[in-house]
Amino acid sequence: MDPTRRIVSDGAVAIEGSRIVAVGKTEEIESFFQADKIIDAAGKLVMPGLVDTHVHNSQQLGRGLCDGCDLPVHLFERLYGYEQQLSEEDAYWAAINCQLEMIRAGTTCFVDPGNYFPDQMARAIGESGMRGVIARIAFDVHSTPMGELSSHLRRETADEALGHAEAAVRRLDGLHDGRVRTWFGLRVLAVCSDDLIRRAKARADDLGVGLALHASESRDEVVAARVKFGMHDLERMDVLGALGPNLLVIHMGWASPREIALCVRHDIKVSCSPSAGYRLGMGSMEFGRFPEMLELGVSVSLGSDSAMSSNFVDVVRQMNLAAGGAKSQRLDPSVLPPETAIEMATLHGARCALWSDEIGSLEPGKRADIAIFDTRKPEWQPVLNPIANLVFAARGGADTVVCNGEVLMENGLVLTIDEERALLESQTRGRRIARESGLGAKVMPKWPVE
């Protein structure tokens, strides 16, 4: 994924500390370097670690609780009902299990747009060895055209929400050898006042960090924005003077032509979440304009959303869905080729995470974030074009993962997380939350269970 997009057969990567020092033919690398540790990647595809730019770590214990419902029900009943039951320790185990799933998928870096537990997110990153952007979520409006927020949910003024968000940036940004970066995160613009939006963007600019938010997510939200504000989400932010290159907007499946033009003009970053669009029936892949955004030079990356929205956290599967969705929408199999899909999962992902100076490609000087996939499997064979096989044929699931020069998983064994305990905690805590929230009864199988 260097500027010439070299594919090196019989290649090797030399790592010293946390950085890549050389990439080239194995014979050449071995003649220059004596390794303390060698990872045998014979028969495997070695590539930059994948970047997932939309991951709600704290929602991992709610997998399945939002199945089969429209977006207003998803948000106001299911998601907020789940959050009412979530404790700090629940959030920590949710993050550990989410990062376990990402490591197994070949992901080394993620962007979490925010929750109430940034300290627990940072704690999990410290232990898993991943790289991630986190945020303390902020919003200050509790009534929208789509519905009313429960009175049981935490309610904050703009001052309170922004104060908590800024405190998290100052407390957590740069932790764990720089693997934690902390941004400002707005939930959705419908629940954010003009004052909060302006001030959050200004503070992000002042502190040199990013601002993440969901925008033009669904027809429901676009209509609600037009009804209440007379314009689309990014058009509103433009009026407020809150656009810029440190802005990551998530979904954008219903972006207006003017919003796309604003993305180009202000170098706004976009995260496309194909599986959430399909699972929630939002029409984002059918009506979105992601191929056009890419052709216009917008940095469009891929996001998995959450275990409650897309039900899986795997960028390889997102590449397949993004490429397939674009081809089906255009009735053109040449649209969004596999090379573009991989750029979205690596280089574009790094740009959207505001981390492209250090990750996204295998080049000397960059951080050693690497995903290795075993091609010696029936779904990979024969390997004529490894790029196409990864996007169109692979089932996901990496063999070995390195982040910041540390091996997180080797030959399918995760080294940084006690997987058995993590899975047990997830099952126990997830069942309790489903029971105590009353949501578990809403998603039981329609067929009889004996």
User: pTM of the full predicted structure?
Assistant: 0.97
5-28: pLDDT as tens digits: 999 999 999 999 999 999 999 999
Residues 6+ apart with CB under 8 A from 26: 10, 11, 12
329-345: pLDDT as tens digits: 999 999 999 999 999 99
Tokens linked to 332? 């053109």
- Asked, as a colleague might, if the bond just before 382 is cis with ω within 30 of 0, I would say yes
Query: For position 55, what pLDDT does the model report?
Result: 98
| pLDDT level of residue 98 (50, 70, 90 thresholds) | very high
108-143: pLDDT as tens digits: 999 999 999 999 999 999 999 999 999 999 999 987
Helix (H) or strand (E) holding 184: strand 180-188
267-306: pLDDT as tens digits: 999 999 999 999 999 999 999 999 999 999 999 999 999 9
Helix 118-128 and helix 88-105, axial crossing angle in degrees, nearest 10: 40
Domains and CATH numbers, the chain: 50-352 (3.20.20.140)
Helix 315-330 and helix 338-345, axial crossing angle in degrees, nearest 10: 140
| Phi, psi dihedral angles at 293 (to 5 degrees) | -60, -45
What is the rounded CA–CA span in Å between residue 20 and residue 405? 8
Query: For position 151, what pLDDT does the model report?
Result: 64
Query: For position 427, what pLDDT does the model report?
Result: 98
